Amino acid sequence: MPPCAHSRLCLTGRAGVEHLVRTPCSLFCRVLRLTTSAFFLCVLCVPATHAGNQREEPLIDSVRTALSAAVHQSGPPTLVHADAKAAQAFQQWLMQTEVRLDKQLQRRKASPTPANLGVAAAPNSPNGAPDVLAHELASAPLRREFLQTVWYESQRAGLEPALVLGLIQVESGFRKFAISSAGARGFMQVMPFWTRVLAQDDASVLFQAQTNLRFGCVILRHYLDLENGNLALALGRYNGSRGRMDYPNAVISAKMGWS
């Protein structure tokens, strides 16, 4: 029952109840009209999906340890493969994914930056230009280093590299210096509060590729564990929209292009 009908029932007392009983059809029609209007109003007012808006919550020890270690590592990780077959599988994945990433970046150059996403100026970039590919995966070595780190951090967190790449595509469009309207930063749009106790509250570390990818992968793994492996709920929690399917559907759809 709408709030106005409930208030009317409380205020009119017994006489009001008798009146409402005598006019059930009229009341039902009014309630139906009010409920329908409220429903469509709520649908229209639902905010659009936006990048990384995780809720701050206490950290378990394993998450805290993993994130703390990432803050002190700046270079790409050194991959150690179990055997020659595993090394060959990685090289094949790397070659295929490099081609896909190059195409993705070329499409991005022709598209405007989303309204909900700003881009910080990179250190030492020409004229402080905020979104020039010269400092973001423009060369083959930079792309290879980025993908090597994605592979390492996703495997370390027990995630599919394709899922991590799909999430980055949706969250930041592979913009290393992206800042969302909610204040999230970097490739995986990590919220600054994660650095409060892990990096002396220095949110700038989230613009370091390996740190950002480590944080993002560990956080997503943490949310998957909280949601007992339910990917849709974990992605919703990562985005701050748990229970809604627009964001999980977008990430899962993007993941298909990297599989």
**pLDDT tens-digit profile of 79-89?**
778 889 989 99
Calpha distance 38→42 (Å, rounded): 6
pLDDT of residue 133: 47
Q: Which fold has domain 61-256?
A: Lysozyme (1.10.530)
DSSP alpha helix (H) spans, the chain: 3-22, 24-45, 61-71, 84-109, 140-156, 161-171, 209-226, 231-239, 246-256
As a whole number, mean pLDDT of residues 9-23 equals 38
* Backbone Cα Rg of the chain: 24
Q: Can you give the pLDDT at residue 1? A: 45
Q: What does the pLDDT look like over 121-173, one tens digit per residue?
A: 555 555 554 444 445 788 899 999 999 999 999 999 999 999 999 999 999 99
Is 93 a residue whose pLDDT tops 50?
yes
Q: Is residue 36 pLDDT above 80, yes or no?
A: no
What does pTM read for this prediction? Answer: 0.70
